[in-house]
Amino acid sequence: MASRYTLRPLMRSARCQLQPSHSQRCFSSSIRRYEPTSESTNHERTTHFGFETVSESEKEARVAGVFSSVAASYDVMNDCMSLGIHRLWKDHFVRSINPGSSSSSQPWKMLDIAGGTGDIAFRLLQHCDEINHSPQSTITISDINPAMLDEGRKRSLATPYARSPRLDFLVANAEHLDTIPSDSVDLYTVAFGIRNFTNKEAALREAFRVLKPGGLFACLEFSGVTNPVLDAVYQRWSFGAIPLIGQIVAGDRDSYQYLVESIERFPKQEEFRDMIQDAGFLVPGKGWEDLTMGIAAIHKGVKPVELQATQ
């Protein structure tokens, strides 16, 4: 007799108002690589804010400053950073999850973390309705930043889900989802959010905790470009053009500089896959799907269902 794990049928299948404590940064448009830094000191744990090493508490405040600054110009930001391709990636992300599909006709309880302006959540609900005829499926859009959630609330007014009990908003840090019960969520999504988290491992552990056994973790994030020629062009574009466009379009070079540095700093595909596994998830296949030659990638993990051994 041996116990083993299996999958449930796949789911039931950045003008930055720098915080007063910020030191002024010197920016250049050249490509810079981060240098390895210590994750902790004797006194206070440190982490990365782009290519800078900062204390964990300072990072959280500065990330908040970035997203408060860019909340109103968020769509422009995304379009600038991805040349509009983020819309196609998001569409594909949602299709690949196929939310609302259920052999038992059960509605899905979904959680979109770092959901900001609702881009992913509205797509998920629409897919539930139009593709899987699951009009009872619900979603909570959660974000640490009230300004981003306010944009989401405004944008929801243009959707059929405005003021619907199927949609709610929660201000929360992804690393401490204290108000969300364990084993309560069918789907946890995070799109272009996790690279901003101070403690990514803690966020992955929380994802694992809140998901039901058999529930799906799905992440869409910038990743490692697999083609060296595209990578060279992409690096020039990211570090040369994006901060400049941020300055011209939004009057905010610093936030855009942080965003491109955070992309460079984020773990590449294999390393992030391993982090997901370390949090306890089962990873289907190789664990990720590259989008546009790895500029972005979708990572998935399933919370295992422990089956009783059969005789």
Ligand X SMILES: C[S@@+](CC[C@H](N)C(=O)[O-])C[C@H]1O[C@@H](n2cnc3c(N)ncnc32)[C@H](O)[C@@H]1O
List contacts with ligand X (CB under 6 A).
63, 67, 113-117, 119-120, 143-145, 148, 173-175, 191-193, 196-197
Q: Which amino acid is at 35?
A: E
Residue whose Cβ sits closest to ligand X: 116
Least distance to ligand X, CB of residue 90, Å? 7
Least distance to ligand X, CB of residue 8, Å? 26
Least distance to ligand X, CB of residue 290, Å? 18
42 is in an annotated binding site: no
Least distance to ligand X, CB of residue 302, Å? 21
Least distance to ligand X, CB of residue 124, Å? 11
Return the number of the residue (214 or 301) whose C-beta is nearest ligand X.
301
Return the number of the residue (143 or 264) whose C-beta is nearest ligand X.
143
Return the number of the residue (186 or 206) whose C-beta is nearest ligand X.
206
Least distance to ligand X, CB of residue 29, Å? 22
Return the number of the residue (63 or 298) whose C-beta is nearest ligand X.
63
Return the number of the residue (74 or 288) whose C-beta is nearest ligand X.
74
DSSP the chain: ---EEEPPSTTT-------TTPPPPP--SS--------SB-SSSBEEEETTEEEEHHHHHHHHHHHHHHHGGGHHHHHHHHHTTHHHHHHHHHHHHH-TT--TT-PPPEEEEET-TTSHHHHHHHHHHHHTT--TT-EEEEEES-HHHHHHHHHHHTTSTTTT-TTEEEEE--TT--TTSPTT-EEEEEEES-GGG-S-HHHHHHHHHHHEEEEEEEEEEEE---S-HHHHHHHHHIIIIIHHHHHHHHHS-HHHHHHHHHHHHHS--HHHHHHHHHHTT-B--TTSEEEETTTTEEEEEEE--EEEPPP-
Return the number of the residue (39 or 306) whose C-beta is nearest ligand X.
39
The burial class, CB within 10 Å (0-12 / 13-18 / 19+), for 286 is: exposed
173 is in an annotated binding site: yes
The binding site for S-adenosyl-L-methionine consists of 117, 143, 173-174
